Amino acid sequence: MADYDVAIIGGGAAGLTLTHQLRGVNDRRGRPLRVALVEPPPGPHTPPPRTWCFWEPDGGPWDHLLAARWRDLSVVGPDGAVHDSPAAPYVYKMLRSADVDAHVRASAGEHVDQLPVLVTEVVDGVEHAVVRGTCPGGPGGGERELTASWVFDSRPPRPAPRGRTHLLQHFRGWFVRTPDDAFDPASAVLMDLRPPQPANGVAFGYVLPLSPREALVEYTEFGREALTTPEYERALEDYCGLLGLGDVEVTAAEQGVIPMTDARFRPRAGRRVFRVGTAGGATRPSTGYTFSGVRRQTAAVARALAQGRAPVPPVPHRRRHLAMDAVMLRALDTGRVRGAEFFAGLFAANRLGDVLAFLDGGSRLPRELAMGLSTPVAAMSLTSLDQAWYALRGVGARSLSRGPGPARRR
């Protein structure tokens, strides 16, 4: 018998959400699942505190932990034109990772073990998988080994999957405080396209107010390479100047990189081993948003375990949306479309709630086709043909590499 029913590797958004989803879940015999949350001990491998933003209708499962929420959103075009509207039926929400972490741990219950182990190896098996790693102290140099019926690994896969297009959403944000009222806490700037633009990709700022005098102000780029911290700092200083904030007090900062790629992330890594979160394809390629995908993915895992089925995490995005995302990323990367004009046109011609529905996978095909007409049609059509030809060439190359099938006996 395995030590645990489920081992979850990593205490980020995916690991914490899955741990929370499994609270109170029983197996088909009615026995509570035995869960291990395995993550590195405090130190260099501990992820820094983050804010997680997402949109959903009001009344979500994390609402009691929200740092802020906004019903009204705006997008500012490169010419300064403001496009604003309610986000209905959605509310844009912010969670602090530290609040989620504390809540999940406090409510985990007696059937969840929180193990400070730096995982070095996961070995798949027929009846169970083995997780090996090191932990502080203990005999044998701190080695630790545990077995689990199912293992869910949220760490980035090595090597990372490579697609035809691989961009990065890279960013740095400041939590700022101003001496006077400068923000409207009821309204957030989702995308401000006035910063200087890179040759390929797009650069933008956004403003998430927490109070009349406090906000998260962030500078973001979609591109092939991240900036240095001093480069982000200069960009943020310039953006705060563009906002007319003058001198601000920076109370905290966050920085990160999120993959934006048409590579295929495969949630199944073995018979008993799966990937979740960004590693399992939960990140939406066109936006870098992950939290909503993680919620859908981990809920499906919890349902499967409760029903006694193999808990294969689904990729929480429709195939047609992934195909559309691949075209958009390719068009940005090749320079066929100018990022600032592309996004400004998209938000100017469509209600923000409709765009958010598409970006979260809740839109219908007729609305998506109508939305596509508000983008640079010629450039996007050319890129679609380019992607289709690339896919056909890939299928042909794979067929040739396999060679002819076995000869039939007569």
Does residue 301 carry a pLDDT above 60?
Answer: yes
- Retrieve residue 141's tokens: 């140099």
Q: Among 31-45, 129-143, 290-304, 362-376, name the one with the lowest average pLDDT.
A: 129-143
pLDDT of residue 402: 52
Domain 4-56+95-160+263-307, CATH among 3.50.50.60, 3.40.50.620, 3.90.550.10, 3.30.420.40? 3.50.50.60
Q: What are phi and psi of 400, to 5 degrees?
A: -65, -35
The 10s digit of each residue's pLDDT in 21-57 is 999 898 888 899 999 999 998 878 788 889 999 999 9
Question: d(Cα 189, Cα 72) in Å, to the nearest integer?
Answer: 9
Mean pLDDT of the chain: 91
Q: Helix (H, G, I), strand (E, B), or coil: what is residue 393?
A: helix
Question: d(Cα 261, Cα 167) in Å, to the nearest integer?
Answer: 6
Question: d(Cα 218, Cα 196) in Å, to the nearest integer?
Answer: 15
Compute the average pLDDT of residues 320-337.
Answer: 95
Domain boundaries, the chain: 4-56+95-160+263-307, 166-261, 319-391
Helix runs in 208-336, H state only: 229-242, 291-307, 319-334
Residue 304: Cβ-neighbour burial (10 angstroms; 0-12, 13-18, 19+) = middle
What residue type is 183 in one-letter code? F
Compute the average pLDDT of residues 398-404.
Answer: 48
Domain 166-261, CATH among 3.30.9.10, 2.60.120.260, 2.40.50.140, 3.40.50.620? 3.30.9.10
Compute the average pLDDT of residues 148-169.
Answer: 92
